[in-house]
Each structure stands twice: as C-alpha cells, then as structure tokens.
Structure 1
Amino acid sequence: MSPETPQESIYDALGMVVIRVDADLKVWYVNSFGLRLLGFARLGQVFRRPLIELFGADPTNSPEFLAELRDCSAHRGVHQVEAPLTTHDGRQIWISWSIEYRVAADAILAPIFLVGADVTRVHQSMASALLFQHIAQNNPLSIVITDADLTILFANPAALAMTGYAVDEVIGRRPQMFRSGLTPDETYQAMWAALGAGLTWTGEFVNRHKDGAIYTERKTISPIVDQAGRCSFYFAIGEDSSKQHEAEMRLLELSSTDALTGLRNRAGFLVELARLAQRASAARTGIAVVHLDVDDFSSVNSLLAHDDADRVLVEIGRRLDTTVREADVVARLGSDEFGLLLPAPEVPLAAHCEEVSSRLLAAIRPPFKVGERSIELTMSIGIACFPADGSDAGELLASAASATQLAKRDGGDSAVTFDRAAGGEDADRRELLGELRHVVDRQQLILHYQPQLSLQTGALIGLEALLRWQHPERGLVPPGRFIPWAEESGLIIPISEWVLAEACRQMREWLDAGLPPIKVGVNLSARHFRFPKLYSTVGDALAQHRIDPRTLELEITEGAMMHDVAIAARTSDRLKEIGVRLSLDDFGTGYSSLAYLSRFPIDVVKIDQSFVRDITSNPTNAAIAQATIAMSHKLGKVVLAEGVETEEQMHYLRRSDCDEMQGYLFSRPLPAAEIAALRRSGRRLDFGAGKGDTPPTVLLVDDEPSILSALRRVLRREGYRVLVADSAAAALGVLARETVEVIVSDQRMPQMTGTELLSRVKTLHPRTVRLVLSGYSEITAVTDAINRGSIHKYLSKPWDDEHLKSEIRDAFRAWKERFSSDGG
C-alpha cells in the first residue's frame, strides 16, 4: 500500500465515502468513514481488490451504477448516480455517488475518484411516506390532517365517504364545515383544553353529512409538534359511531323493558326513579313510590296453565297503566310484583296517594276471565315517599316493599304507608348500625373468595373477595343486610379500606406460600369510589404488601360510575395510573350506556346474575347477554358472567363467546385456606366428556430461552396448553406432531424469519391462527404478510401481560369462528 498523502488525511476527516480506483476499477484507497460505513475494519481488507467486491457478491443490483463507472472512464468529467448496495456486514444502504475521472502525472495513481453520501434515511423517509399514503388511502377509519391554523391538508377516502364531500371540496377549508350545531360546547372546550396542553383527545362529535343527514363520529385528535415544541399539524382519526348508538338504544330498550307486559322492568323502574328523585330534589317537591304485590298469586299459578297465568299478569299491568296518569310510571318488578312512580301533583302528596291507592285496588277487584274460568284477585300496596323515606332508589323501593308486607299481614287488599319511626325493623337497624362502627376494631369481618374460571380453558384464573360479618351472637350476617346501611351511614369507608388491605395481605400470603400470582377482585362501594383519598389508599395497600398492581381488580357498580361522570372518569384514570384493573359490576341493571362504557378505562364487564339466571329460557335476557358480550369485545373488554349455577347456563355462555364465569356451578365462595387447597389441586371447570379434554393449545416460537420462559409462564396461568420451539425448524416439527390452534412467533430468528415461517405454516397448517411477536419494526415485511393472510396480527416486544392475554383470547376466538363449525 502506498503511504498516506496529505489529501488522504483530509479525506479521513470527511463524513462522506471517498474511494480511489485505477483504470481497472481496483481499489487503491478508501477513507476511514467509508471503511466504517461499508463494514470494513482496515484498508488492507480492500486494497487492490476489484471495486465490485467492496459491496458484496451482487453489490448494487443497479446496472446504472456500473454504467456510470464505465462512462466516466470513456468520457471523463463528473457523473452523478444514486444506487443501493449491500455492505460487507450485510446492511442495505443507499449512496449518492459523484464519480470523477482525474488526469495525473503518476500513472500509478488511480484515475477515478468516487465520493459518496449516505442517503439511506432519505429513502427510508420516502418509503415511510409511501407506506403511510397506502395505509391512509385504504384505511376504513377516517383520517384528516390540518395545519396549525386548522386548514385541511389531507382527507382520506373514508373521511370523504363519511362526510359526503369530494376531496377538492374539503382541501383548504376548515373542519367547521362538518358541524351540525348539535355537539355540546363542553365537548369543544374539553378538546381544546387537551390539545392546548399537547395531549391527545378522544371524544364524539355530532356532525352533518353534505346531504344534511346527521351522524355521530368518534374522533381521536393528536397535536404534532416541531422541534421547538410548537404545534405544526393536527392528526385526526375517526369512525362513524351512529350504529353503535343505535345498538346502545336497542340494548337500553331491551334491558329496561319487561318482555311479558311491555312495561318497564325493575332496572328501568330504578333508573326512572333516580332521574325523578334528582329532579324532585332540585324542585323541592316529592315522589311517591308504590309497591304492589298480588295476594296469593301462587294459587293462580297452580290453578292455571303457565300461559294463562301470564295472560293474567299482562291484564293486571294493563289495568294499572290505565288507572294512573300519563305522567306516572308503571313497571313489573318481578313475577307478581308491580311498581308505580307518582311525581308530586298539585294536591298534597299524601292525599293523592290515598286517592290513587283506592283506584288501584278497585281496578284489580273485577274478575279476570281466563277461558271459561273467572279469577278474582286482590292486591297489597305499600307506599314510600321521597325524600322522607329514603334518599336513593334502592332504599325507597325497600321501604315501599316493607309497607307492602304490613298490608299482607293485615289480610291484603289494602294499602299501607311506610312509617320509619314505628317499624320494629328500624330499631334493629339502629342496633346493627351501632355495632357496625366497631366491626373492624373487634376483628369481626372476614373475606371469602369466589373462584372465577376461563370459559376458553376451564382454568381458575381469578377470585372475587366477598365480605362476611361474623357476628358473635347473630352468626354470619348477610352482606345484603348490613352493606346498604354501612353505605348510607358512611361506615363503608373504613370497612372498604379493611377489605382492600386484607385482600392484599392474603395475596401476599399465597405468594409467600409458593402459589403463583392470581387476579383478585375487590368491590368498591359507590361512596368509597368517590372518596378523595382512594387513589393513595389503593397505592399504599399494594406497596405495603408488595403486590403487583396488575393482579388487583377493583369492581365498581354502574351506579357508582354514573353518579357523577366527570368525577368517575378522573378517579378511574388515576386508578389506572397505578396499574390496577377495573371491572364494571352488575352491568345492565343500572344507569350506564355503552357510550359511557367506551369512555371509561374498564377492563372487565360483568353480566349480572339476573340476566344469567334464565338465560337459556328467556329470549330477552339472552339477547341482552349476547349484545353485551359482542359490544364489550368490540370495545376490547373482557366479559365475565356472574351467578352461573347450571351446566346449561355455562355451555350457553361459552357458545356465546363469554370469556369468564363465576358461580355455584364450580364453587361457592370459600375461606382463604380452602382457596389455597383448591388452587394446589389444579381443579378446573368441567366442560363435559370430549368438550374440554385437551385445553386450547398455543405454540411459542423464539430463539431466546428467557423469552419463551416468560411467555409460557404468563399463558399457562390462563390454562392454555403451551408448546415451545426455539427455531423455525423445531416449530415445523412440533406442528407435524401436535394439534395447534394458535402460533406466536418471533420475527428475528436465525435461518428463517417469523413472517417466512408463518407463510409456510399457512400452506402446511392452514387451520391455525398466526401472530408475530417482535421487538423490531419491519413494517414492510409484516404488512405484506398480513395482506397475504399469513399473519393474523402483529404484537410488539416488550409486551404487556394483560394486553398479550387479551390478544391470545381474541386469537382463539378467531380460530373458533373460522374452524370450529367444521369439526376443528
């Protein structure tokens, strides 16, 4: 090698590739930057080698590059060419070359200089832009981009189809053109508050189509800032949520209407009572809550056929409805129980109630004609008034029902007004309330735990902590007897804090005993959910007992969530910041809608046992459960059914794609020691002969043992049968031997990438659902594989356990939809 010249010292300081070759295109010099970029350690590796060998066996795949070299030798001058090449260490880069022929006195000196700049990032940016354009143009969601002044710069076809405008009608205009005037001002205020703080905002607009039609759009808007922190663009992605609103209204109608009589059901009655109570409180007026129970209806059931007895109930409902005012609310609360809501009239409420009671009793007395039979009935009526006899819907209805029982004791066919002061039950209540103040100090509270099971695998995957009061004289006091009083009196706060601390303590005890982590649900009362220190109370309990927040699930009732939506949203967000899971309890029985459900960070939706109890025989409750499952899955929520007591209920829920269940079919709530024994036994839900012998099987493919171990640990806790392979070849071997429904493969592996493996698996084993899990962003390869149908979904490392479990559940659900019907 020739000694270094002064010019070459200068070249070594450049951030560009400099190569000198002779007339035979053999290398005499490469500067330091060029050696590093091309993958060489020293000049000796390339000295006097053909230029073509610097770039690998087939370096450029670009005939233009070689043509420019030859043309430079023939015609001299400076030539420009941009070409891809493969470096010595296998990387793919782009170089912009300036090739110059030089005349030199010393014939030994190379006559050609190549000076190159690395323009790989430019090409990557162009590729990314093309990829974005392809994704945006073909995305089913609307995408709109504006500048900082809200001038529309881009709208994809989905956005144009949603709004009804052509592209030239929206570019250069502002999004205000879509406004209908029906979106609340508060929505825009919340949006600008978030965007002004540099945050992403999600919400709903009521917009107007070009043809005048109104539609609802759920939108997510993000500000895009420059290096100086100034907003340069707004990126908005949305979807038409009108159909979701229609589904919600249908679900609300189903969940609030009695299928037999067409009147409101208990849930609808309580919703309306809460609404009227709020209005009456603001107007300082009253409401009468009337509970009606048919006297001795059991004898009618035994006398008549089932359908005939139902016809009598329908006629009772009709008579009640025609007896009261149009403003009054009539409902069927149970089998032979009815309810009325009477907003305060102009006359005093007490006098009005007495007059209405007389008319109701008279309306029921005429005989009911059933075929050739004539049935005479009477009713017992109980009346409670808001606010004197209760401050919430449940307490008011309980007070009215208590008065009904007094009417029945007096022989029925009468009306009784609730008298709190005169009731013996009130004295008992005061006594229990006094003792409730000391239950924590006296250590009279205990927790039992109800198992929660996967309806995919049958495995025990969670527990719900249930409170019991071990009274020294009365024995176990039912929660339904003391929890409402604790809630009303405010004692629920210290009791709830004990429950939270005790559940965490027990979780730590199980962990120290060698049992694996398990999800435990703890109920939050409505009052505790609004407690200002709840966030720190939960955090302190987790920290004190060293509990992973992801294993604690806080269960919140619909009423607690809907009491104050703004406070509920803030509290939910703060709890999610800790990392705990949130579940919505008793779904379908209270005030919530799916619109609210979609706005809260809920992880689990629990179907109330009132819908499960007759799910196999009541079409209305079955429809509610199916709609809840489908809509919850669309929103990315897990669905758990409560109160499953029969195999028929379990199988129906399983066929309806419900994720989890709890109930007496598997186990009653158990003390902690019995739960530990149950967990060690490995007992799981029995799906019946041939229905659950082999758990759902997932194959994990990764060349890193630590990754396989971590993934296997997470998925085995869910009850899956987990197989592993450390290479693509090993995976193909496993698939040849075993029946596998779901495959999760790493992308970067020796010999064969994950996308290549799954492309082969698609052909060899088409009855599989295939996922890629990778820490590398190879968008083009993955996108191509998805488009070809080789990959069901792409997941990224590092993964979140809960998100991974959710995706695996969805993959098995997809497998079931595709293949189970034909014997898979």
Structure 2
Amino acid sequence: MSTFGSTPTPIARLGGQDPELQAMVAEAVNGGTPLMLLHVDIDHFRSINENMGADVGDQALALLGRRLVEQLGSEARVWRHGSDEFIVALPRRPGGPNPDDFGAQLRDHVELPMTVLPYTLFLTPTIGLALCPEDATTSSGLLACAETAVGQAKHEGLNLVRRYTRDAAVSIRSDSIIARQIVNAIANNEFRLHYQPQINAHDGRVIGMEALLRWHSPALGMLVPERFMHVAEKLGVIVQIGDWVLRNAFRQARIWRDWGFDDFEIAVNVSTLQLLRPDFVMEVLEAMQDAGIPQQMVVLEVRQNALAKDTHLVHRTLASLHREGVRLTLDDFGMGDSNLDSLVRFSVDKIKIDRSFVKGVPNSAREVAITCAIIAMGHQLGMKVIAHGVETDIQLGFLRRNHCDMFQGHLFGEPMSAEDAGSVLRRRYLRSDAFAATKPDRTLLLLDDEENILRSLVRLFRRDGYRILAASSVNDAFELLATNDVQVILSDQRMSDMSGTEFLGRVRVLYPDTVRLVLSGYTDLATVTEAINRGEIYRFLTKPWNDDDLREHIRQAFTTYEMPHR
C-alpha cells in the first residue's frame, strides 16, 4: 500500500502543444517507433473532494502521478490532464507489452490502495487507448482519439480499458444527437412500451410481464434503453422518463386486470436517480393509486450497481417500498460493482441471473458454476430466482433441473407490443411441450466418440428396455443431460475433447444423483483410483467387454440409483 508522506514532486501538466509528445508522435509518423497513448480518467473522483476535502483529493492525485512515473518504467511519459485525469505515452518497441496488456497493467497500478491520512483510498480508472500512426498522425488528433475511447468505455460502464475504434467515434457523435432530441421525446410522444413475458418454471404459465422502453428517435430510428439512457442520466431527464414508464406500465396493467388477469405481475425497471429521490416512494404509490392496481401486482427491478451508490438512502427507499407491499427484483445479478452482502442488507424478493451467465449453460463450467451458485444462494435467502436471456430448450432444461423459479427470454417471446402481450396473456401457458412431465426412470446415457462402439452399445442395451440416449461428444452429452432426466451414464475414458473421468466429475457437480461409470480400453490406475475416491465414478469397466457382464453392471447401477429414491 502506498502511503502519502512528504509532498510528492508534481508531474507536468499536458499543454496543447507539448513538445515532448509532439516529438514522440513525429517519430512514429516518420517511420520510427510506433506509439500508444492512454487517457486515464479516475472514476467518481468528485466524491473524494466532496466527502474528504479538496486537500485530500489533491494529495491523492499527486501520489498517483508519482506512482505511475515510478512503476511504468523510464520510457513511459506521464502528464496531468484536466482536474482528475492523466495522459500516459509509451513507445511500442519490439518485445514490449501489447497495448491491451499495458492498459490492463496501468489499471492495476491505479487500483493499488493508497493512504492519505487519515484515509485509505481505493481508486479505479476508466482508460481510453489510441495508437499512432494507426489512429492519428498529430498529437491533438491522438489525444482526441484517446478521449473518444474513454467516452466509449464510460458508455459501457466504469473501470474499463477500451481501444479507440472508428465505430466508437460514430457512437459518441450519435450521443450528441440523442442529447439534443431526448429532452423533447416525451412531449413529442416518441416513447413506446414493449412487454416480455415472465414464465413459471413449474408449468410454463405466464406470471408476469416486464415493461421495456423503446424510443422512436426521428433521426436514429428505434433505440433500446442501453443506447440512450446514459445520455438521459447525464442530462437529468431520466427521472421524467422513469415516471412516464411507471405510469404507462401501470395503466396497461390495469387494462389487463380489467380483462380478468389479476394473478400476474407487472415489472418495471427503475434508475438509480429515481431511487435517490426523497419522494420516490410516494410517487410510486400515487402512480399505482391513479392506475387502480394493488401493490402486490407491482415489481420494481433495480440494477445491482444502484446498491453501491448512496447505500443509506437507497436502503431506506427500498425498505419503504417493501413495507408498502411493492415487490423488488435485483436485476443483472452477478454483474456490476455491488458485492454479495447486498442480498442480505437490501429488501428484495427476487434476483435475476444476468443473461451473460445463462448464455453459457450448460457447456461452460464457469457459467454453470455461477448460475447454480446464484440459484442456491437465492433460495437459501428465501428469494425467487429468475433467469434472463433463456433462448434454447437446452438452457431451459438445465435451469429447470437446477430448480430455477422463473424464466424470461426469446424462447418464450421477444419484447412485444401491448396488443401482442395481451394475446400471450390470454394463452396463459407457453411452450407447454417443454414443461410436460417426462418419465424419470431407467434412462441410460452412452458417451463415446467412436461411432462404431457407440452403435454397438446402443444395440446391446436396447434389449433391456432402457430409454437410451447416445452422444458422440461431451457437448452433446451435456445438452442431453440438460433436457432429460438421466439416471445412469456410461462414458468412454479417452476422448478428444475431455477425458471420461473429467466429464463425469463435472456431471457429479451438476447432477449428483446420477450413477456414473467409465468404459475404457486404457487403464490409468492413478486417475481411476482418484476419480473413485472423489466419488466421481461408480465403477471403471474395461474394453473389450463381455456383453452379459456389462449388462449386469448397468442393471446394478440402476438398482443403486433407485434404492434411495424408493
């Protein structure tokens, strides 16, 4: 940890025509050593000045500048820029770090804790990176490209490193168009609400609709909130937009309630700025009263990073809403900058698994582990769990087998007009075939990447009346497991994409009740012993096999499975 002792020697501020930077750019342009330039913007630095004092902020920036000079090496050049920004230039010599790696290294240096007594500070940067001569051939052009890259990074979030692209520049320019037009969007009747169904995991019944905002911009066409809400937040009009969404969603819910649908929920996203308004709870209650809908019909979805802002005020607002009977969902769980104790400290009824994790199941071990952990954690805390971004039957099957409570995604319908959403409500049940009960007993999964052996095994076990699933790759096997209730698995050991013991080890985590056997002509005694000792496999059988003996082993495996399930 760096500690502020004596006053650090201040580093130079970057002027408009800095001769050192101009010389570095000229060398790169004239066939010499190429250059990378990084614009480092310290996130939320204003809060340090406001809460701890400007002196602490000035000392922290001086200390950070000295740290960067000392740790980035003699070839790097560091300047102060603006109030809380730095510019770093580094020649790109052969064998040196590539730009992305250097940007990540620079971010790590900024994030090291520092002490400015009596405080310990934890800073994070957003970094934009531009290359010379690829992106610009003048110092001013290169600085502009790096600043544009910072703007693109902030568009995606904070504490990111992004390289300049021409597409990013176009995006920044379109933001200026958005800023000019969005202030009049409500008055010009340019906003629309679409609705996406939320599904009960038990039977496929529609139990909710999430209201999703769309803006029909005269200049840019139809835009989703991710494209314009960050601009609306900067301009302060997001509060008016949020109020418009609440009132119109509640009115639509009242129409559906008058049709007789009084057992479903209307979910509405709320912004951080709305939650920070002292009168927000009253505004929500008044909107519900004006629409004539009960509190238990309303679900407000709160993004996880909102919980990291003004913790006390947000906590008080959410607690008040909860006491009034409004239900709360923590959106995009697993992402953002809030930590896990937010589940305990804040009053929420549901957590929504971010679509980036749902996309990876069941084939990605990382996404599977995170998804299962979120479901288990939510249930331990007495919350319902909704999976966002469900697009395939395989994802649906996996999530159902792992006891997720609700689903939302294109598998059940894209965001749609109120008229189409009303038709979905009248149907009440979606994809009923996927939720039909399946016979749970005597299903055998065979996995072998040699097709002739796989066909022989299928013929062998068919006579015993099992329901047989055959897979020639690990990915196929995971997909079958996600969509079928399998009791016994017989896997080859030596396969091109993953060994049998490794595959069955992952299966044990996902589907611990299955009985798992390995069949192989190759015997690695240490691997087999370790797998058996860890409980990953039930038996290890060898090729070539005796038909009667192998059939008996599988029969015993089913008996072993059925004993605790009787």
The within-5 A match list for 1:304-323 is: none
Please state how far the C-alpha of 1:280 moved relative to its aligned partner: 8.0
Amino acid at match of 1:438: N
Note if 1:284 corresponds to 2:13: no
2: distance between equivalents of 1:485 and 1:660?
32
Alignment match of 2:259 (pick from 513, 520, 523): 513
Please state how far the C-alpha of 1:514 moved relative to its aligned partner: 3.2
Alignment match of 2:79 (pick from 329, 338, 348): 348
Note if 1:676 corresponds to 2:422: yes
2: distance between equivalents of 1:406 and 1:459?
57
Partner of 2:325: 579
Note if 1:526 corresponds to 2:526: no
Alignment match of 1:418 (pick from 147, 162, 178): 147
Partner of 1:553: 299
The within-5 A match list for 1:741-760 is: none
Alignment match of 2:283 (pick from 514, 537, 558): 537
Note closer, same or farther for the CA distance 1:672–1:654 as it changes in structure 2 (3 Å cut): same
2: distance between equivalents of 1:275 and 1:560?
14
Please state how far the C-alpha of 1:598 moved relative to its aligned partner: 1.2
Q: Deviations over 1:648-704 (max 9, x none)?
A: 21111111111111011111111110011111123323463854699xxxxxxxxxx
Alignment match of 1:647 (pick from 365, 371, 393): 393
Partner of 1:434: 180
Amino acid at match of 1:418: E
Report the structure number with the largest CA radius of gyration: 1
Amino acid at match of 2:57: R
Partner of 2:22: none
Partner of 1:597: 343
Q: What is the alpha-carbon root mean square deviation over aligned residues?
A: 4.4
Please state how far the C-alpha of 1:346 moved relative to its aligned partner: 12
Amino acid at match of 1:284: G
Note closer, same or farther for the CA distance 1:630–1:433 as it changes in structure 2 (3 Å cut): same
The within-5 A match list for 1:203-222 is: none
Alignment match of 1:496 (pick from 237, 242, 248): 242
Please state how far the C-alpha of 1:599 moved relative to its aligned partner: 2.1
Partner of 2:91: 358
Contact conserved, 1:554 with 1:582, CA < 8 A, in 2? yes
Q: Deviations over 1:471-492 (max 9, x none)?
A: 2343212321111111121110
Q: Which moved more, 1:460-469 or 1:279-288?
A: 279-288
Contact conserved, 2:78 with 2:87, CA < 8 A, in 1? no
The within-5 A match list for 1:150-299 is: 283-284=56-57
2: distance between equivalents of 1:492 and 1:820?
57
Q: Tell me, what secondary structure is at the counterpart of 2:341?
A: helix
Partner of 2:197: 451
2: distance between equivalents of 1:478 and 1:406?
34
Note closer, same or farther for the CA distance 1:440–1:405 as it changes in structure 2 (3 Å cut): farther
Amino acid at match of 2:79: P
Q: Tell me, what secondary structure is at the counterpart of 2:268?
A: strand
Note closer, same or farther for the CA distance 1:599–1:457 as it changes in structure 2 (3 Å cut): same
Note if 1:608 corresponds to 2:354: yes
Contact conserved, 2:302 with 2:329, CA < 8 A, in 1? yes
Contact conserved, 1:357 with 1:381, CA < 8 A, in 2? no
Note closer, same or farther for the CA distance 1:595–1:492 as it changes in structure 2 (3 Å cut): same
Note closer, same or farther for the CA distance 1:408–1:635 as it changes in structure 2 (3 Å cut): farther
Note closer, same or farther for the CA distance 1:595–1:547 as it changes in structure 2 (3 Å cut): same
Contact conserved, 1:457 with 1:692, CA < 8 A, in 2? no
Partner of 1:631: 377
Contact conserved, 1:558 with 1:586, CA < 8 A, in 2? yes
Please state how far the C-alpha of 1:529 moved relative to its aligned partner: 1.0
Q: TM-score, normalised by structure 2?
A: 0.54
Note closer, same or farther for the CA distance 1:425–1:628 as it changes in structure 2 (3 Å cut): closer
Q: Tell me, what secondary structure is at the counterpart of 1:480?
A: helix
Q: Tell me, which stretches of 5 or more residues in structure 1 are unaligned?
A: 1-271, 289-323, 329-341, 366-376, 387-392, 695-818
Please state how far the C-alpha of 1:585 moved relative to its aligned partner: 0.6
Amino acid at match of 1:679: L
Q: Deviations over 1:511-564 (max 9, x none)?
A: 223333420110001111111121111011110111011010001111112212
Partner of 2:461: none
Q: Tell me, what secondary structure is at the counterpart of 2:419?
A: helix
Note closer, same or farther for the CA distance 1:406–1:568 as it changes in structure 2 (3 Å cut): farther
Q: Tell me, which stretches of 5 or more residues in structure 2 are unaligned?
A: 1-40, 63-67, 111-121, 152-167, 441-560
Contact conserved, 2:69 with 2:78, CA < 8 A, in 1? no
Q: Deviations over 1:122-143 (max 9, x none)?
A: xxxxxxxxxxxxxxxxxxxxxx
Q: Deviations over 1:548-592 (max 9, x none)?
A: 110100011111122122111110111112211011011111233
2: distance between equivalents of 1:417 and 1:479?
26
Q: Tell me, what secondary structure is at the counterpart of 1:508?
A: helix
Higher relative contact order (CA 8 A, sep 6+): 2
2: distance between equivalents of 1:499 and 1:360?
53
Note if 1:474 corresponds to 2:220: yes
Aligned residues: 356
Note closer, same or farther for the CA distance 1:275–1:823 as it changes in structure 2 (3 Å cut): farther
Please state how far the C-alpha of 1:434 moved relative to its aligned partner: 2.2
Note if 1:570 corresponds to 2:316: yes
Contact conserved, 1:606 with 1:640, CA < 8 A, in 2? yes
1: distance between equivalents of 2:352 and 2:247?
23
2: distance between equivalents of 1:628 and 1:823?
27
2: distance between equivalents of 1:427 and 1:378?
24
Note closer, same or farther for the CA distance 1:654–1:409 as it changes in structure 2 (3 Å cut): farther
Partner of 1:588: 334
Partner of 1:461: 207
Amino acid at match of 1:554: L
Contact conserved, 2:375 with 2:404, CA < 8 A, in 1? yes
2: distance between equivalents of 1:405 and 1:519?
51
Q: Tell me, what secondary structure is at the counterpart of 2:216?
A: strand
2: distance between equivalents of 1:405 and 1:508?
55
Note closer, same or farther for the CA distance 1:658–1:609 as it changes in structure 2 (3 Å cut): same
Please state how far the C-alpha of 1:364 moved relative to its aligned partner: 3.8
Note closer, same or farther for the CA distance 1:362–1:487 as it changes in structure 2 (3 Å cut): farther
Contact conserved, 2:214 with 2:222, CA < 8 A, in 1? yes
